[in-house]
Amino acid sequence: MHSFKQLGLLSAITASLTLAGCGGSSSSGSSTDVTPETEGTEVGGTVSAPGGMVAQFEPVSPFQLAAEFFIPSAAASITGLEPVEGADVELIRVDNDGNQVGEVLARTTTSITGDYTLNVPAGTSLAGNLIVRITGSNNNQLRAQVVEQDVDIDPISEFILQKFIEQGANLETLETDKVVKLQGQAEQFDLTAEADLTNMLATLDSQLGDFVEGQVDLISTPEGDVTEIAGDFRSSALNLGLHDSDGQGYGTFAMDIYGDSFSFSDNGEGEVGVTLDVGYSAYANFVGADDGTPWVNYFPEPDVNESESFVATYTNNGVLTLEGEFEEEIDGDFGFRFPPVTYRLQKNTSNNLFFLLAQEAVVRYRTVDTNNDGQKDAIDPNQKDGDEILRSLEYFARLPENATASDLSGDFGLVSLLTYLGEGSGIRVESETSTVNFDGSGNFVVTGGSLFEIFRDATGNMTNLEGTAGDDSGSVTLEADGTISAIGGGAANGFVNDTFDFVAVPNFNGTNPDDGTDFAEFNHSLMVKLPNGTAPDLTDRTYRVFLLSVTFENDGSIYLNYTGFDSTLSFASNESASIDAKYSSVVKSGSLASEVGVENFPLENDLTVSLDGTGSLNLTAPQASGGDGVTSMDGFMSADGSLGLLRTSFDADGAGSGASFNELGLVVLVELP
């Protein structure tokens, strides 16, 4: 998996966050137990909050009557968290909704540096439902789970607790060491404190929400049966990225394609032994400003041949979780920081297909020579050079052992996404929906369907095109291990799954002669086996939504759109459905050279559904913000209704002719157990 070579931030936009007194306490306020006759474990830490709301948690001064404690003027200019002085810290138990259960178990007050200690009553076990909290005006709370003796109370601890509650976790039975690990991982992200708790929690959700949600899901979900998924897999991925240069006047649209082989084995108790063999990869970028002169770089690696082993976790909700640790790399004049990331692969209900939408990024710095040996060997955190935000759609298929041409037969629905970068030309995104028939004797026939294209030229101007994909036919060579080695007489690098109802054909092409004609073209063609005249019944079935798309605006803005892992689509019938998604965009506003940002909004909408006996599926929804636009997702549903492959497009004026669409991408619907 490419992700293990380039781990990253979920949203790398801001500078580092100061966590006051992180990891313990140097001085503390007085500790008063509610039941002083029963002293047990001593816990303590530092209480810190956004500077704009520190006074909400500090007590009313008797010398200032109704006024809040004075905050020194110097603190107002500090970006970061501030210690909370004189706040009441309470130790309580809570239920799984976060509500207090029983009486306060112990109380204390924070010192001038925000530190506290208190004694946990004897017989009270440290657990995920044992909480320390401070309460401010308007009942604002900061809480932390008491799962070890060093317990800092800050927006990150509050955010993690809220995520456990949102996920419906049993707080009392959480494994404390895993909660401790999660808290430490979250503190490795580079963040900047906001002025108040509401904005701070929103920032945390934007920048590390996906990571924390993945860890919470892993910690709180029972183990699965790994024997169900053991075997050999092939994968491929399309990775799209936007980079900035921190005001240096240029930016980048980047893309990766990579294909790997995996072997999953059962290590017991939900642990999966994973062996990764890196197969091929290619990277390309379109770099510059909207002045007509951006250039293209293309770096193919058709035969990488690298291998590594690690472990993953499989849970009974069909999720395979792989974890990446914080990393730092030095490469000449530049250094890169990659905080931890969680990869969650969702298994399809009817076969061993997994899908992943990875949220990665990199913070780029200049480097320095710390020992005067002429080699730059360390990152200079004061010379941040830019951000690289990446989103990738990856698919994994368990391979057959003795495939023959006769195994590949029937009608399949094809959905493709092609991305093209041309030096002096621009960026093109193209998507096709067609049908393919395999005759079981090594031949295929393509019946051309719909073809959409959006194009952004080298000066930022956007155009679009709607047409008809061409028909095609030829031979296909299927190897015994499921590899598709040739299509239409030309070499291919596709594969089928072990139930022969999913086909993937990724490919890449390009040149890099540095003569003004450089280009790169990456394409993913995905196919799903279709029903034979009778549409599957989708009533009361729920699917995880994996969406990756690109938007080009007429003002030069570029959007890289994606959905969070917990996004779902539920069918009420074969005519209606609803979507509940966390929809986000990586944004360059106005030009390629703009700084990157991230926008998030909940997407809750009813959908109109059209599904026929050939598996042709169309979902439409009005613009979520109430405008005239219409979102369409058109493609195919599998014969058993467990997997949908769709193209997504957004028609800004709702005309329906395609004349105004400015967004194209892929959507995968994976049925949940």
pLDDT for 194 equals: 58
pLDDT for 196 equals: 64
* Residues 327 and 465 grouped into a single domain: yes
Asked if the structure places residue 131 within a domain, the reply is: yes
* Residues 154 and 252 grouped into a single domain: no
pLDDT for 455 equals: 98
Per the CB < 8 A criterion, the answer to whether 519 and 298 are in contact is yes
pLDDT for 188 equals: 65
pLDDT for 200 equals: 72
Indicate the pLDDT class of residue 21, thresholds 50, 70 and 90: very low
pLDDT for 57 equals: 53
Percent of the chain with pLDDT over 90: 70
537 secondary structure, DSSP code: P
Asked if the structure places residue 199 within a domain, the reply is: no
Of 8-22, 188-202, 287-301, 375-389, minimum mean pLDDT range: 8-22
- Residue range 345-389, pLDDT digits in tens: 999 999 999 999 999 888 999 999 999 999 999 999 899 999 999
Which of 164, 187, 204 is the last residue before a domain boundary? 164
pLDDT for 148 equals: 94
Separation between Cα atoms, residue 225 and residue 220, nearest integer Å: 16
Does pLDDT of 37 surpass 50? no
Asked if the structure places residue 208 within a domain, the reply is: no
* Residues 470 and 565 grouped into a single domain: yes
* Residues 35 and 143 grouped into a single domain: yes
- The stretch 561-569 carries a mean pLDDT of 96
Does pLDDT of 604 surpass 80? yes
Domain harbouring 126, CATH code: 2.60.40.1120
- The stretch 596-613 carries a mean pLDDT of 93
* Residues 504 and 374 grouped into a single domain: yes
Does pLDDT of 537 surpass 80? yes
- Residue range 93-111, pLDDT digits in tens: 999 999 999 999 999 999 9
- The stretch 252-279 carries a mean pLDDT of 96
End-to-end alpha-carbon separation of the chain, Å?
26
* Residues 155 and 247 grouped into a single domain: no
- The stretch 593-605 carries a mean pLDDT of 91
Does pLDDT of 199 surpass 90? no
Asked if the structure places residue 487 within a domain, the reply is: yes
* Residues 575 and 649 grouped into a single domain: yes
pLDDT for 111 equals: 94
SS3 assignment, position 665: strand
Separation between Cα atoms, residue 666 and residue 584, nearest integer Å: 15
Count the domains in the chain: 2
Indicate the pLDDT class of residue 659, thresholds 50, 70 and 90: low
Of 57-61, 154-158, 394-398, 449-453, minimum mean pLDDT range: 57-61
Asked if the structure places residue 212 within a domain, the reply is: no
pLDDT for 138 equals: 72
Does pLDDT of 506 surpass 60? yes
Which of 164, 193, 217 is the last residue before a domain boundary? 164
pLDDT for 338 equals: 83
* Dihedral angle, C-alpha 544, 548, 554, 556, nearest 10 °: 130
- Residue range 111-126, pLDDT digits in tens: 999 999 999 999 999 9
Angle formed at CA 268 by CA 567 and CA 276, multiple of 5 degrees: 65
Indicate the pLDDT class of residue 215, thresholds 50, 70 and 90: confident
CA distances 287 to 6, 223, 245, 249, 295, Å, are: 20, 45, 11, 11, 5
Does pLDDT of 319 surpass 90? yes
* Residues 364 and 497 grouped into a single domain: yes
Asked if the structure places residue 78 within a domain, the reply is: yes
Asked if the structure places residue 59 within a domain, the reply is: yes
* Residues 232 and 160 grouped into a single domain: no
Q: Please give the residue range of the domain that contains residue 411.
A: 226-671
* Residues 158 and 277 grouped into a single domain: no
pLDDT for 230 equals: 98
Average per-residue pLDDT in the chain? 87
pTM score, whole prediction? 0.79
Which of 164, 186, 215 is the last residue before a domain boundary? 164
* Residues 368 and 283 grouped into a single domain: yes
Cα within 13 Å of Cα(69), Cβ side = 20
* 252-280 residues labelled b (16+ CB within 10 A) or e (exposed): bbbbbbbbbbbebbbeeebebbbebebbb
- Residue range 491-503, pLDDT digits in tens: 999 999 999 999 9
* Residues 159 and 230 grouped into a single domain: no
Does pLDDT of 224 surpass 80? yes
pLDDT for 139 equals: 78
Of 342-356, 416-430, 616-630, minimum mean pLDDT range: 616-630
Asked if the structure places residue 187 within a domain, the reply is: no
Q: What would the two tokens of residue 284 be?
A: 């390309």
